[in-house]
Amino acid sequence: MRWPDVLPPFATVVMSSDFRFERSDLKQYPHFDAPIALKEIHHLVTNPERVASNSFYPFFMYFKEWQPFRLKAAGRPEKKQRPIRYGARRDAYIFSYYRQILSDLYEKKLIEYGIEDCPVAYRKIKKKSGGGKCNIDFAKDAFDEIDRLKDCLVICLDIKGYFESLDHNLIKKVWCELLNVKQLPKDHYAVFKNITKYRYVDQRAVYKRLGFFGIVDSKKPSIEGHVKDIPKQLCSPSDFRNKICGKDKSFGPSLIEKNEFHYGIPQGAPISDIIANFYLMKFDKTLNEYAQRKGGKYIRYSDDILLIIPGGTENLHEAVNLAIEDIKKYGDEIEIKKVKHV
């Protein structure tokens, strides 16, 4: 992918007045950069010039593993895992701030499209009784719709490797649409570039290279663990260049890897969830219009799609085919993996 040589000036975007970084938002995990104060965070993220020139560190990557639940009769399924990547402190604050900018614009677009109740993941959706909805409330909404329709078809669709399949050009296109610009301003472009053509390092490999993780007992070389306390700032900028980037070859090759594909964003970054939401905004509109024509309901929770429509299986092929065909508009890598119905 060829990035533009000349970018437009910085955009003026009005943030929602209730967005503030609080003390509880301070990142305390170990990473390459030092902790910074709330005042400095504010000065950083609200200055487009500083954001545009920020040197983003590689993400840390580790694998999150979990055990899917199944009834005993179905047998114990294999454990699943997914790569999680999280950014350095300064980078994470920038991603969080720009996430809020995009979120405000996204919420307005949902209202314009009449789909504010369709994508439910990663959003603050208020209940009529007060407070915000949670997954239990979303499940109840679905069951209430099934109860209302009585005789109905419930279709569950699962998008394969969703975060890893998002096309960069399409992300950029929708990003521009939300900002109502033809080209991303320099600060937004810097954020976009570093969430798409991102760099990352394996967390364990970094800890080993810096001497925080290794053989605990020389008599048991097969057993590894933490050999000393891990500081919040893992190393100096000089050590980062020499030991992590591989400038000093005596420490070994560079540990940094880069997403060389034209698709995929890191799951775990503060801005990734809003991208996952707005990416399929027009898909949501299409599926919701179909469900409404049928007198039913459409809901999407990130990569999980739910269609509830009146009638029986006579509508199954039509509904599933619509979803499978329409999602092809959103990149070569994205596809619906699983289809279930009751």
Mean pLDDT of 218-247: 86
What's the one-letter identity of residue 133? K
More confident residue, 165 or 143: 165
Which pLDDT score is estimated for 128?
Answer: 78
Instruction: Examine the pLDDT at 1 and tell me if it is beyond 50.
Output: no
Nearest to 109 by CA among 281, 263, 262: 281
pLDDT at 124 over 90: no
Residue 147's pLDDT is 85
Task: Read off the tokens for 216.
Answer: 């605990």
Contact 56, 93 (CB under 8 A): no
Name the band, by pLDDT with cuts 50, 70 and 90, for residue 341: confident
Q: Which amino acid is at 224?
A: E
Write down the pTM of the prediction. Answer: 0.88
Dihedrals φ, ψ of 161, to 5°?
Answer: 45, 55
Over residues 114-119, mean pLDDT: 94
Q: Tokens 């260049």: give the residue.
A: 241
User: Residue 146: what pLDDT?
Assistant: 84
What pLDDT score was predicted for residue 9? 63
- Calculate mean pLDDT across residues 125-146: 84
Q: Which pLDDT score is estimated for 221? A: 65
Distance separating alpha carbons of residues 190 and 185, to the nearest angstrom: 9
pLDDT at 211: 92
Residue at token pair 């590689």: 58
Identify the pLDDT of residue 67. 63
Check whether 4 has a pLDDT greater than 60.
no
Contacts of 115 (CB under 8 A, 6+ apart): 281, 284, 285, 288
Of the pLDDT bands very low, low, confident and very high (cuts 50, 70, 90), residue 151 is confident
Question: DSSP for 209-238?
Answer: HTTSEEES-TT-TT-EEE-SPPPSB-S-HH
Q: Residue range 248-274: average pLDDT?
A: 96
Residue 2 is predicted with a pLDDT of 44
Judging by beta carbons within 10 Å of its beta carbon (0-12, 13-18, 19+), is residue 21 exposed, middle or buried?
middle
